A and B are shown apart, each in its own frame.
Chain A
Amino acid sequence: MPENKGLLILSKLQLFVLISVFTLFSPVFSFANEPVSEHKTEVKADTTVAHENHEISATEHSAEGHGEQHGEAEEAFNPGKMILDHVKDAHDWHILDYNGHPIGVPLPIILYDNGLHVFSSAKFEHGHAVVESKGNFYKLHDGHIYKTDAAGTIEIGEKKAVMNAKPMDFSITKNVLALLIGAALMLFIFLSVAKAYKTRGKAAPKGLQSLVEPLIVFLRDEVIKPSVGKHYARFLPLLLSIFFFIFINNLMGLIPIFPFGANLTGNIAVTMILALIVFVVVNFSGNKHYWKHIFMPDVPVGLWILLIPIEIIGVVLKPFVLMLRLFANITAGHIIILGFFSLIFIFGQKSLGAGLGASVLSVAFTLFMSVLELLVAFLQAYVFTLLTSLYIGSATEEHHHAEDHH
């Protein structure tokens, strides 16, 4: 009986996939040769599509100000740009567009340019307006703040590089706000858990405590203790902080609505700082065997010239790879999910029906990817912690262990 049931489910699934694929591709054949002029009305029928279009049109408008771009391209949906805009950091937290008006949370802009300049990002009007602060003029262009003249001229040099000066930008961007929210959430979780331990003493864990405790015990006993070795207790706070920071922020990045959904752990600056901390901790805790291993490896002296540079590269490469792995995995997850959603609007530009048809498949795939990303969220936090533990372990291990390495 179970086999029969399994077969039935499989066949249902196959049927679903077949129908979905058919629905997905049917518009390609039927609408592939339709004239472009038809698209405008269809696109406007869908507010969400309009929102994506508005993003484009906002930048196009600013470009139009300089008379460089043609108005005809306004309505085209650019999935690459949409995805990158969502994955990258931003100066305001865009939530959605309604009737062509962006709805979002303006964030504080903090610039250091011969003195602090603090104002709201709403003043930029999404790149339309030039902001005057203490006699200086600033303009938002392609997600960056540039110093301009009163008219807001952006000088474009070779290879489309902007020639304007950039002030030091310490703004509370989308990712900074997400970082603060994540940190606040972590403080809330772990301080209340710590309080629970204090009040409940040796009693069995309860509530939030029993959610967090298995993770802490798993990390301590299965990851950190075996990897780091006997000095593991010294590194527990750092490694636990790193794990839960990555894990919680990964999960928060998967929740699509404000104040979550920022691609924080998929931002190179964040992973860079994490990797930098790992680099500093590993090298500062390295014992004499660790340094001997690098500068006086147990090989004939003639080979030192070859091996020492390799070892030095390895020292830098380890945290560098940590940085890239986390960044790439999380960013890729966000890009894939956004890519599936883009499919809806790509087909929606063809016709409303095609967009709706594609949305069935897109939602199914996005659901699948989201579940996969839940796994990745844990896995990447785990891998980062495990590798950091191993690096610390190899830097602090005693000599006779080090011998086994060669």
Chain B
Amino acid sequence: MDLVLPGLGLTFWMLLVFGLLMFLLKKFAWKPILTALHEREHSIDEALKSAEVAREQMAKLNSDNEALHKQAREERDQILKEAKEMKNEIIAEAKKSAEEEGKRMIQRATEEISKQKQNAIAELKGQVATLSVNIAEKLISNQLSNNAEQQAIIASQVNNLNNNQQAIA
């Protein structure tokens, strides 16, 4: 029965010692321990959070860099493209103007040629006329003895001349 009956002495000492122990531990042990633990956890939390923030900033910086790179590349491509276009344009324009110039020159040459031809024809005509006149003179001087024949020759000559003039014209 002693086993389940609390003894007076032990009850008294237990109350005293445990009360004192709790008081001392609370004041000199639990308070500093729990505060230190809390502070350390807090500082670890803070460190983790700031690391996270730094990581995010880093990532942001990286992505910014990336964007800048991309933009630069795009700009370069754009410039190259524009330059190519400009080159093509210039070439095309040059080709076109050269063609036009060529055409104009050809036209001018043709015109010149036809003018020269006209001149040549006109000159030829004049020479032919002179020659004809000369021939005619000779003929006329030869055949003027024969009146009838003279008449016939003149007529044919005139006719020929007319025909010739018509053909030339």
Q: Interface of A with B (CB < 8 Å)?
A: 84, 87-89, 110, 143-144, 168-173, 175-176, 179-180, 183, 186-187, 190-191, 193-194, 197-198, 201-202, 213, 216-217, 220, 233, 236-238, 240-241, 245, 267-270, 272-274, 277, 327, 331
Contacts and interface: CB of A to CB of B under 8 A. Distances in A.
Instruction: Please report whether the interface of chain B is mostly helix, strand, loop or mixed according to DSSP.
Output: helix
A88 B2 contact: yes
Nearest to B47: A202
B18 A216 contact: no
B14 A273 contact: yes
Interface in B1-35: 2-15, 17-18, 20-22, 24-26, 28-34
Given A198-B32, A241-B26, A272 B21 contact: no
Given A87-B3, A176-B9, A268-B5, A216 B33 contact: yes
A245 B18 contact: yes
B39 interface: yes
A269 B29 contact: no
Nearest to B13: A176
B36 A273 contact: no
B133 to A, nearest CB: 135
A171 B17 CA distance: 14
B40 interface: yes
A175 B2 CA distance: 14
A236 B29 CA distance: 12
B165 interface: no
15 contacts: A169-B7, A170-B9, A170-B13, A187-B24, A190-B33, A191-B28, A216-B34, A241-B25, A241-B26, A241-B30, A268-B4, A269-B7, A269-B11, A270-B10, A270-B14
Contacts of A236: 30, 34
B14 A179 contact: yes
Interface residues of B, number: 34
Contact of A186 (B10, B21, B37): B21
B6 A194 contact: no
B2 A237 contact: no
A299 B5 CA distance: 39
**Which 10 residue pairs across A and B have the least CB separation, nearest first?**
A269-B6, A190-B29, A197-B36, A237-B26, A269-B10, A237-B30, A269-B11, A194-B32, A273-B14, A176-B13
B8 A170 contact: yes
Given A202-B39, A274-B18, A268 B3 contact: yes
Contacts of A110: 9
Given A89-B10, A173-B10, A176-B17, 14 more contacts: A172-B13, A173-B7, A183-B17, A183-B20, A191-B28, A213-B37, A237-B30, A238-B22, A241-B25, A241-B26, A268-B6, A269-B6, A269-B7, A331-B3
B32 A173 contact: no
A273 B12 CA distance: 9
Contacts of B14: 179, 269-270, 273
A186 B25 CA distance: 8
Contacts of A270: 10, 14
Contacts of B9: 110, 169-171, 173, 176
Nearest to B21: A183
Nearest to B10: A269
Contacts of B40: 202
B18 A237 contact: no
B6 A272 contact: yes
Contacts of A202: 36, 39-40, 43
Nearest to A272: B6
Interface string B45-78: 0000000000000000000000000000000000
